[in-house]
């Protein structure tokens, strides 16, 4: 069975955070072990405790959005959401600490005692869980790529970069909002963006931001761009929505459709803002992509791409590009050569 890139990415995150947590816990276990105990025993207990506590918590944080049975948590008010998480953390931490001590006492005459080491272990586990949760939640809010760039200061000073952009806009969003109501439309948007996120991860795209009912995806110049993954991405997103068609119809009575536009060029990337900071992309490239998305409505084509991007990438075998009349862009001297992307005849999916 083929594992999606999203699943592989999530399992890599779980593995590496668990490994780092085990290393830190091994050091802590060795440092707080009683003087009459071999240091390796304390380190081993630290690793075991990390496995019993850290791994379930990490799995919960990384995978809970993908577990349908936990969907009710997303509908809780913020206070209730954090209360449930605190209760879960407390149960896992206490159960993990007790179980690790029971396992380490097997085959020995040493009784299980709740001493100062146990109390320090509780404080250490709570601290590790809070820090890990803060990192995961901040990464979800900003995007893990953006969080990494902010932490290492990649865009502390503006820099020029070559990037490709994919803009995806839901069709008839105003009519759907009126039909479904604000709350259910928000739920539809969330499901819509989740399918786009799956496609983005499959195609190595970064989700730059969501603007209303529009998602902005981007790729840096490199292998993922040259191989044409950016051209595949909107069709893969559509494929995910088709696969989830029954779920969409059951919940909302419709399956969402979208228009998309692709363009590439030079942008200036840099941190922007004071009270709230983010990495912003500035330049003509994004403006042209937005105009291209507007043109898709008048031209009645679901996916438009600039000839400039087509010249840089390999057209995937399952797609065909139909040249269209050039497009006049306000503020741009030369007209823009464009094409409509579509699946080849007889091609069910990319």
Specify if 84 maps to a domain. yes
Q: Are residues 164 and 107 in the same domain?
A: no
CA distance 227 to 216: 20
Q: What is the mean pLDDT of residues 330-336?
A: 78
Q: What is the mean pLDDT of residues 118-130?
A: 76
Q: Are residues 91 and 204 in the same domain?
A: no
Predicted pLDDT of residue 350: 47
Q: Are residues 104 and 193 in the same domain?
A: no
Q: Are residues 76 and 110 in the same domain?
A: yes
Q: How far apart are the first and last CA of the chain?
A: 18
Compute φ and ψ for 115, nearest 5 degrees.
Answer: -100, -165
In terms of average pLDDT, the best of 36-50, 57-71, 122-136, 296-310 is 296-310
Angle in degrees, CA 9, 13, 14, rounded to 5? 115
Specify if 152 maps to a domain. no
The answer to which of 123-132, 142-151, 312-321 has the lowest mean pLDDT is: 142-151
Q: Are residues 87 and 168 in the same domain?
A: no
Quote the percentage of the chain above a pLDDT of 70. Answer: 83
Specify if 135 maps to a domain. yes
pLDDT category at 59 given cuts 50, 70, 90 is confident
pLDDT tens digits, one per residue of 262-271: 999 998 988 7
Specify if 230 maps to a domain. yes
* pTM (2 d.p.): 0.69
Q: Are residues 228 and 133 in the same domain?
A: no
Predicted pLDDT of residue 262: 95
Tokens standing for 305?
Answer: 């791409």
pLDDT tens digits, one per residue of 299-322: 889 999 999 999 988 898 889 999
CA distance 127 to 220: 37
Q: Are residues 132 and 35 in the same domain?
A: yes
Specify if 14 maps to a domain. yes
Does 65 score more than 70 pLDDT?
no
Q: Are residues 29 and 95 in the same domain?
A: yes
Last residue of a domain, which of 118, 142, 166?
Answer: 142
Last residue of a domain, which of 110, 142, 174?
Answer: 142
Predicted pLDDT of residue 340: 93
Predicted pLDDT of residue 234: 94
Q: Are residues 53 and 184 in the same domain?
A: no
The answer to whether the beta carbons of residues 347 and 318 sit under 8 Å apart is yes
Q: Are residues 184 and 71 in the same domain?
A: no
Q: What is the mean pLDDT of residues 318-334?
A: 84
Handedness of CA 115, 120, 124, 127 (dihedral sign): positive
Predicted pLDDT of residue 113: 64
pLDDT tens digits, one per residue of 202-246: 888 888 888 889 999 999 887 667 788 899 999 999 999 999 999
Q: In which element (H, E) is residue 308 found?
A: helix 307-310
pLDDT category at 348 given cuts 50, 70, 90 is low
Specify if 147 maps to a domain. no
Q: Are residues 163 and 259 in the same domain?
A: yes
Compute φ and ψ for 168, nearest 5 degrees.
Answer: -120, 125
**Total count of domains within the chain:** 2
Averaged pLDDT of the chain: 82
Last residue of a domain, which of 84, 118, 142?
Answer: 142
Predicted pLDDT of residue 1: 43
Predicted pLDDT of residue 97: 82
Specify if 349 maps to a domain. no
Residue 110 C-alpha from the chain's centroid: 46
pLDDT category at 193 given cuts 50, 70, 90 is very high
In terms of average pLDDT, the best of 154-158, 190-194, 329-333 is 190-194
Predicted pLDDT of residue 254: 92
**Any idea what the CATH number is for the domain that residue 205 is in?**
3.30.70.1230
pLDDT tens digits, one per residue of 69-103: 566 666 666 567 777 777 888 888 888 888 888 88
Tokens 């840096």 correspond to what residue? Answer: 220
Specify if 148 maps to a domain. no
Q: Collapsing DSSP states into helix, strand and coil, what is residue 149?
A: helix
Q: The domain containing residue 80 runs over which residues? A: 5-142
Q: Are residues 28 and 97 in the same domain?
A: yes
Task: Name beta bridge partners: 300.
Answer: none
DSSP class of residue 212 equals T
């Amino acid at each position: 069975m083929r594992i999606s890139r999203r699943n592989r990415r999530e399992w890599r995150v779980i593995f590496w955070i668990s490994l780092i947590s085990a290393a830190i816990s091994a050091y802590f276990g060795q440092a707080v072990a009683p003087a009459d105990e071999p240091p390796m025993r304390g380190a081993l207990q630290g690793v075991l405790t990390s496995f019993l506590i850290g791994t379930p918590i990490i799995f919960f944080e990384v995978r809970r959005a993908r577990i349908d049975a936990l969907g009710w948590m997303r509908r809780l008010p913020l206070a209730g959401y954090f209360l449930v998480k605190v209760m879960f953390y407390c149960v896992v931490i206490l159960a993990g600490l007790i179980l690790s001590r029971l396992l380490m006492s097997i085959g020995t005459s040493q009784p299980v005692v709740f001493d100062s080491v146990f109390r320090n272990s509780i404080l250490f586990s709570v601290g590790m869980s809070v820090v890990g949760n803060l990192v995961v939640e901040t990464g979800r809010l900003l995007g893990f790529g953006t969080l990494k760039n902010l932490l290492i200061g990649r865009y502390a000073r503006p820099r020029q970069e070559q990037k490709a952009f994919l803009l995806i806009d839901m069709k008839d969003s105003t009519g759907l909002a009126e039909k479904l109501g604000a709350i259910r439309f928000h739920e539809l948007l969330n499901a819509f963006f989740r399918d786009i996120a799956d496609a983005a991860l499959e195609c190595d795209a970064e989700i730059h931001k969501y603007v209303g009912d529009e998602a902005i995806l981007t790729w840096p110049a490199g292998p993922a761009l040259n191989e044409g993954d950016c051209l595949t991405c909107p069709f893969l997103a559509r494929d995910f929505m088709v696969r989830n068609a029954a779920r969409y119809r059951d919940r909302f009575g419709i399956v969402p459709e979208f228009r998309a536009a692709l363009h590439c060029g030079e942008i200036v990337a840099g941190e922007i803002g004071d009270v709230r900071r983010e990495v912003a992309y500035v330049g003509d490239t994004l403006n042209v992509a937005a105009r291209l998305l507007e043109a898709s409505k008048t031209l009645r084509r679901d996916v438009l791409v600039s000839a400039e991007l087509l010249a840089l990438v390999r057209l995937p075998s399952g797609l065909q590009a139909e040249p269209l009349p050039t497009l006049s862009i306000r503020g741009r001297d030369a007209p823009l050569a464009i094409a409509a992307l579509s699946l080849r005849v007889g091609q069910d999916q990319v």
